[in-house]
Chains A and B, each alone.
Chain A
């Protein structure tokens, strides 16, 4: 009865939908264009703007190193954020988690100053990971026990993290020497990452960042666990029905995400500083969140996105020196990029939900149709019999 012919029809995607698939890239380009138009107020032509920006970010080994230096924490945060977002956990507490990671680095370096060289850095990373997990765990507890949306709790925990760091470096962890800025004592040299002054102060944290990108990317796309995590994000009910525990997956993705963001903070502290300073990496958390979105919440997309943001920052600083354009234009560009990406995502959702409504309607019709049709296939005798029954 079933015909052996396969009707293969490829629905043609509209041009707009194809464009929207590339919304991160288009958003980045449009953001840069807006920035280039804006600098005309300083009498700088867009062409000069792009030239200077590129030169500042990639023009020399120093510039490249500096770009990668700025990209390092963003890569780690971006990868960590991707883990949460793919599981449908809305972790936007990167900033707070970053600072908690910094605190972890300070705690290890100052409380265990005699730790041998081989153990010092790994210890910092492990403790930072744990601190971050505990910190994001607060949001997890609220969500699991009381159903409070993690979007809200992680956002508010950002203030907790910032103020906690501020309180510590001004109080119990404050430097024993008199310094002009709130900071801790200098860490022992075995706690600091190797860095290369001639290469834009790039430090060995970049390898940690790349390892994390590789690991998270491998986990998300190649392992059964990663597939289940993504499944939970896309359809919690399907995840449950196929034998998974969506709550457990949510909890772990939030914890790992918070832990990785904290590792980013620790790496930033021991890579770019020699002690823990108040607001050592302000806005890194929010930039990392932006990098995750620009990278389509895919660690392998986070890699170019993080380097792009690192290049923007280095390039804009160089441009400030050469043309006098204030580097705060950077925030304008970053903001525009985010608006374009979000706008693209919203437009895509709108188009898709419209299309789905149509499909759902067609489905309902097909169903009723099937019922009607099956009712009509009865043999004549039976139909007659049933007609006769009704007459009675």
Chain B
């Protein structure tokens, strides 16, 4: 390595970045050569984005040095990074929809006079770039009329126009169709041939193996290993490095005694909406006293599946049964009345009303039913009593049950949701990302609540992107990939590598 040190385009040495008490990047070193495509692999929260944001000037590093083209570089803002020749293409494109491609490309550049934009000149340059790299840019078209793939190419041209030597691409294939992925790879290969360097952030193993020269793996804020992409390197090795091992959360879990089937999904599907992947032909039975964990990378149909079951989305095929009763086309109200405990992914907007008190949030689902009230009058005295009792039981910290939920911490908000959804015995719990944004105590409280419900014979569908908690809690583990249930494995001594492969889109027999 040392022989080639002078060839390094970029070297990041011992980068450390922490937020409050948490270390997001712990002594991370990283380097990339001219004309290299480097993958950074890692799970959600492994520290990939933090590292890139430090490089791009969005975060200020606590320690470490960045060497760029042989000289020390201190970037304070993205503008300085761009000036130095570092371009970043975010997952969500930074384009003005109502502007044309050309206008978007020169937006923010201080060229030409105040009124007179150097459009002709710019167009020539853009077309030249488009030609060189096979980007197929249509400069006069408005961005809103472009496909996602084309928009991404506009972002690439934008970076090239600013004479970037290094492109950071944050999960560029997440929003693309397979065909678009193919043409993106062609473009990236051409860029590499022209001597540009690319940092390719991803957690899709097949793509990384297809495209990249070398692969750096991050986990828990640390750089674990950098591997050359040589023949013989397989997904299995990468997956095990990326996922690590299951973590013992000091939670004792009595053996699973599955009872009758509570929820039965028989080949159900839901059409994709917007950027979600929909649900494709999912078959799954969940029994009493069993936690079925659903693992998967974010955006692979997790919310779609939960919303489909809860009647928030229409089923486009298949059949769903709840204790033998057909619920395929039940609406949310009917599902609520079964009752089902539902912990939605979007706590702030879907699970609670921030401007309502804890009491009103406790009565949220059934204000017209006993014990919360009747059709024409809510029983405020009863609601207050029940809320006080539940707050005691679920250890909610607040000045009182009349405090607005918006004033509570995330953990306490989630406890209010738990108290409402699973405070009474239910037959089925559907929990989506229930520990998201919670501190360690609140997270443990969620686990305990789930295990307690499991003991009482509740069937639990536990959806999470944190593999550790799936491994800790689940009796069986299903993996969602692009809306498909690509595998169901036993939770006992789960094969972590296999789960990692499935999550990354590898087919495993």
Point out residues on A near B: beta carbons under 8 Å.
1-4, 6-11, 222-225, 227-228, 230-231, 234-235, 237-238, 240-244, 363-375, 377-379, 382-383, 385-386, 389-390
Point out the residue from A8, A238, A369, A374 that lies within 8 Å of B247, measured CB to CB: A374
Alpha-carbon distance A237/B444, docked complex (angstroms): 28
Besides A238-B350, A241-B344, A241-B350, 20 more A-B contacts (Cβ < 8 Å) are A1-B444, A7-B397, A8-B398, A222-B377, A227-B378, A238-B353, A243-B333, A243-B336, A243-B365, A244-B332, A365-B19, A367-B437, A368-B19, A369-B439, A373-B440, A377-B250, A378-B245, A382-B245, A382-B248, A390-B224
- Contact between B247 and A235, CB atoms less than 8 A apart: no
Asked if B346 is at the interface (CB within 8 A of a chain A CB), the reply is yes
- Contact between B248 and A231, CB atoms less than 8 A apart: no
- Contact between B220 and A375, CB atoms less than 8 A apart: yes
- Contact between A389 and B444, CB atoms less than 8 A apart: no
Asked if B240 is at the interface (CB within 8 A of a chain A CB), the reply is yes
* Nearest A-chain residue to B43, judged by Cβ: A371
CB distance from B371 to the nearest CB of A (A): 13
A-B contact pairs, 26 of them (CB 8 A): A2-B395, A4-B395, A7-B397, A9-B399, A224-B368, A231-B364, A234-B356, A241-B310, A241-B342, A241-B350, A241-B351, A242-B332, A243-B335, A243-B365, A366-B411, A366-B439, A369-B21, A369-B439, A372-B24, A374-B247, A374-B249, A375-B247, A378-B247, A383-B245, A385-B245, A386-B245
> CB-CB contacts of B11-25 with A at 8 A, as 1s and 0s?
000000001111110
Asked if B381 is at the interface (CB within 8 A of a chain A CB), the reply is no
CB distance from A240 to the nearest CB of B (A): 7
In the complex with contacts A365-B19, A389-B240, A390-B225, A379-B438 CB distance below 8 A: no
Which 5 pairs of residues, A with B, have the shortest CB-CB distance? A224-B367, A224-B368, A369-B22, A243-B333, A243-B336
* Nearest B-chain residue to A228, judged by Cβ: B367
Q: B376 to chain A: which residues have CB within 8 Å? A: 223
Point out the residue from A241, A366, A383 that lies within 8 Å of B332, measured CB to CB: A241
In the complex with contacts A237-B350, A365-B20, A367-B437, A243-B332 CB distance below 8 A: yes
Point out residues on B near A: beta carbons under 8 Å.
19-24, 45, 220-221, 224-225, 240-241, 244-250, 310, 312, 331-333, 335-337, 342, 344, 346, 349-356, 360, 363-365, 367-368, 372-373, 375-378, 395-399, 407, 410-411, 435-445, 448, 466, 468-469
Point out the residue from B349, B373, B398, B440 that lies within 8 Å of A370, measured CB to CB: B440
Alpha-carbon distance A372/B45, docked complex (angstroms): 8
- Contact between A227 and B367, CB atoms less than 8 A apart: yes
Q: B249 to chain A: which residues have CB within 8 Å? A: 374, 377
Q: A1 to chain B: which residues have CB within 8 Å? A: 250, 444, 448
Q: B225 to chain A: which residues have CB within 8 Å? A: 390
- Contact between A238 and B241, CB atoms less than 8 A apart: no
* Nearest A-chain residue to B344, judged by Cβ: A241
CB distance from B138 to the nearest CB of A (A): 29
Point out the residue from B335, B355, B437 that lies within 8 Å of A363, measured CB to CB: B437
In the complex with contacts A2-B441, A223-B376, A366-B438, A242-B349 CB distance below 8 A: no
- Contact between A223 and B377, CB atoms less than 8 A apart: yes
- Contact between B438 and A234, CB atoms less than 8 A apart: no
* Nearest B-chain residue to A392, judged by Cβ: B237
Q: B349 to chain A: which residues have CB within 8 Å? A: 235, 237-238
In the complex with contacts A227-B367, A371-B45, A238-B352 CB distance below 8 A: yes
CB distance from A362 to the nearest CB of B (A): 8
Q: A369 to chain B: which residues have CB within 8 Å? A: 19-22, 439-440
Q: B22 to chain A: which residues have CB within 8 Å? A: 365, 368-369, 372-373
In the complex with contacts A365-B22, A390-B241, A240-B332 CB distance below 8 A: yes
Q: B443 to chain A: which residues have CB within 8 Å? A: 370, 374
- Contact between B19 and A238, CB atoms less than 8 A apart: no
Alpha-carbon distance A386/B219, docked complex (angstroms): 12
- Contact between A364 and B248, CB atoms less than 8 A apart: no
CB distance from B386 to the nearest CB of A (A): 15
Q: A378 to chain B: which residues have CB within 8 Å? A: 245, 247-248
Alpha-carbon distance A123/B248, docked complex (angstroms): 73
- Contact between B346 and A237, CB atoms less than 8 A apart: yes
* Nearest B-chain residue to A239, judged by Cβ: B353
- Contact between B410 and A379, CB atoms less than 8 A apart: no
Point out the residue from A11, A243, A365 that lies within 8 Å of B407, measured CB to CB: A11
Q: B396 to chain A: which residues have CB within 8 Å? A: 6
- Contact between B351 and A8, CB atoms less than 8 A apart: no
Q: B224 to chain A: which residues have CB within 8 Å? A: 390
Q: A383 to chain B: which residues have CB within 8 Å? A: 245
- Contact between B360 and A382, CB atoms less than 8 A apart: no
- Contact between A234 and B45, CB atoms less than 8 A apart: no
Alpha-carbon distance A242/B364, docked complex (angstroms): 7
Q: B45 to chain A: which residues have CB within 8 Å? A: 367-368, 371-372
- Contact between B367 and A386, CB atoms less than 8 A apart: no
Point out the residue from A8, A365, A382 that lies within 8 Å of B399, measured CB to CB: A8
Q: A4 to chain B: which residues have CB within 8 Å? A: 395
Q: A9 to chain B: which residues have CB within 8 Å? A: 397, 399
Q: A3 to chain B: which residues have CB within 8 Å? A: 441
In the complex with contacts A363-B410, A366-B410, A367-B438, A242-B356 CB distance below 8 A: no
Q: B364 to chain A: which residues have CB within 8 Å? A: 231, 238, 242
- Contact between A240 and B336, CB atoms less than 8 A apart: no
- Contact between B373 and A224, CB atoms less than 8 A apart: yes
Q: B439 to chain A: which residues have CB within 8 Å? A: 366, 369-370
* Nearest A-chain residue to B44, judged by Cβ: A371
* Nearest A-chain residue to B217, judged by Cβ: A390
CB distance from B297 to the nearest CB of A (A): 15
Alpha-carbon distance A374/B447, docked complex (angstroms): 12
CB distance from A235 to the nearest CB of B (A): 5
Alpha-carbon distance A10/B397, docked complex (angstroms): 10
Point out the residue from A6, A231, A237, A382 that lies within 8 Å of B397, measured CB to CB: A6
- Contact between B437 and A242, CB atoms less than 8 A apart: no
Alpha-carbon distance A371/B47, docked complex (angstroms): 11
- Contact between B367 and A372, CB atoms less than 8 A apart: no
Q: A10 to chain B: which residues have CB within 8 Å? A: 399
CB distance from A384 to the nearest CB of B (A): 10
CB distance from A3 to the nearest CB of B (A): 8
Alpha-carbon distance A56/B378, docked complex (angstroms): 43
Alpha-carbon distance A3/B397, docked complex (angstroms): 12
CB distance from A390 to the nearest CB of B (A): 6
Q: B248 to chain A: which residues have CB within 8 Å? A: 377-379, 382
- Contact between A227 and B342, CB atoms less than 8 A apart: no
Alpha-carbon distance A11/B45, docked complex (angstroms): 31
CB distance from B334 to the nearest CB of A (A): 8
